[in-house]
Amino acid sequence: MRKGGAMTMMMMMVAVALVFSCVSSASAQLDPHFYSHSCPQAQQIVASIVGKAHYQDPRMAASLLRLHFHDCFVKGCDASILLDSTASLASEKRSVPNKDSARGFEVVDEIKAALEAACPRTVSCADVLALAARDSTVMTGGPGWIVPLGRRDSLGASIQGSNNDIPAPNNTLPTIITKFKLQGLDIVDLVALLGSHTIGDSRCTSFRQRLYNQTGNGVPDLTLDASAAAVLRQRCPRSGGDQNLFFLDHVTPFKFDNQYYKNLLANKGVLSSDQVLLTGSPATADLVKLYAANQDIFFQHFAQSMVKMGNVSPLTGASGEVRTNCRSVNHN
Ligand code: HEM
Ligand SMILES: *[C@@H]1O[C@H](CO)[C@@H](O)[C@H](O)[C@H]1NC(C)=O
Ligand SMILES: *[C@@H]1O[C@H](CO)[C@@H](O)[C@H](O)[C@H]1NC(C)=O
């Protein structure tokens, strides 16, 4: 009787364990220790080159963080964004969100070259982007997290996916929420991840519409603070100056903190897509207020959501390949 009870108990525990392993199976394929034996120095190599690049160019942390996002939203986190154009491949670098904007590719090349020298054909370009995003966050004062690894690199790219699936700065909140949902990311992920705009720059062309003609009626976006709008208009005229740069967080532009959310509460978000987090729905507004008041919770949610974004449809096992040069597929 006792023995039978113990057996039943055992079987229930096994069943529960199986259920749990199924629930987490999407991410279970990735493993923080993936390179522990094949390339134990991988994380150190990435961190040291990201550190050097960040020292030489304080904007680089922001640019590397954004590359991981633009990779994951197109065909999953598979380094598709890193492929250059060929006769048969249209690079995602030419898409509207990336053209004249995405940067940091030379740093990725340098990291990859160092990894190939230390452990040939072992560490994927997709994992380089995930690690560089984490290191960039830490180096600017943000939270750290353990990066699940083992992503493999794509054999192709999707410029259509890059144009359609990455949210645009003039998208409405419902459209943005839909695009995040498409990747399995919810409202908490959205509001927390947009906190990335606490560092880095935007070009004039990404927010001109809201300065002059938000809805096509010749009226500016009135949710933008009038004095902030005046400052932005000075270097972002109705025409010309498209590439002029502005800090996304003008208060602490190089520090990963919760100032971004405080700016939103002051109606000083730079992009329309930033400000709609406050004006677009009570649920997102509540999260903006929470993160503005409590940086620890922002950091916790940010770290969790970065891991979640990094788990979007990775190639694993025998799918894809480990590129030797992040800009091109292997020729073998
Ligand atoms: C609704 C979603 C988002 C929209 C519409 C959006 C849009 C933009 C735009 C328009 C820029 C300026 C690009 C330029 O003008 O050159 C930018 C910059 C940036 N974005 Fe986002 N973004 C979104 C979400 C995210 C997420 C999820 C991350 C990271 C997890 C991120 C990280 C960054 C960073 C770090 C920069 C500065 C890059 C640099 O200075 O090189 N963004 N974003
Ligand atoms: C958003 O911006 C794009 C690119 O500038 C433009 O083609 C599109 O018409 C804009 N959409 C809206 C709804 O204003
Ligand atoms: C505002 O945008 C609309 C549609 O994009 C355009 O027809 C109109 O001429 C613009 N108005 C001004 C004042 O720029």
The reported pLDDT for the residue numbered 237 is 97
187 Cα–ligand 2 center, Å:
23
Q: Whose CA is nearest to atom 14 of ligand 1?
A: 202
Kindly tell me if the per-residue pLDDT of 21 is higher than 90.
Answer: no
Kindly tell me if the per-residue pLDDT of 8 is higher than 60.
Answer: no
- Given the CA of residue 167, which atom of ligand 1 is nearest to it? 5
* Residue 149 near residue 35, CB atoms below 8 Å: yes
What does each C-alpha distance from 149 to 27, 30, 127, 189, 314 come to in angstroms? 10, 5, 6, 20, 10
| CATH T-level fold of 189-301 | Peroxidase; domain 2 (1.10.420)
Q: Is 33 a catalytic residue?
A: no
According to DSSP, residue 24 is labeled T
The reported pLDDT for the residue numbered 252 is 98
User: For 285-312, what is the mean pLDDT?
Assistant: 98
Mean pLDDT of the chain: 93
* Residue 155 near residue 81, CB atoms below 8 Å: no
Q: Is 101 a pocket residue for ligand 1 (Cβ < 6 Å)?
A: yes
135 annotated binding-site participant: no
Name all residues whose Cβ lies below 6 A of ligand 2.
168, 170
CA distance 230 to 275: 17
Is the pTM value of this prediction over 0.75? Answer: yes
- Given the CA of residue 62, which atom of ligand 1 is nearest to it? 35
The reported pLDDT for the residue numbered 332 is 66
Q: Is 213 a pocket residue for ligand 3 (Cβ < 6 Å)?
A: yes
* Least confident range of 13-22, 125-134, 135-144, 191-200: 13-22
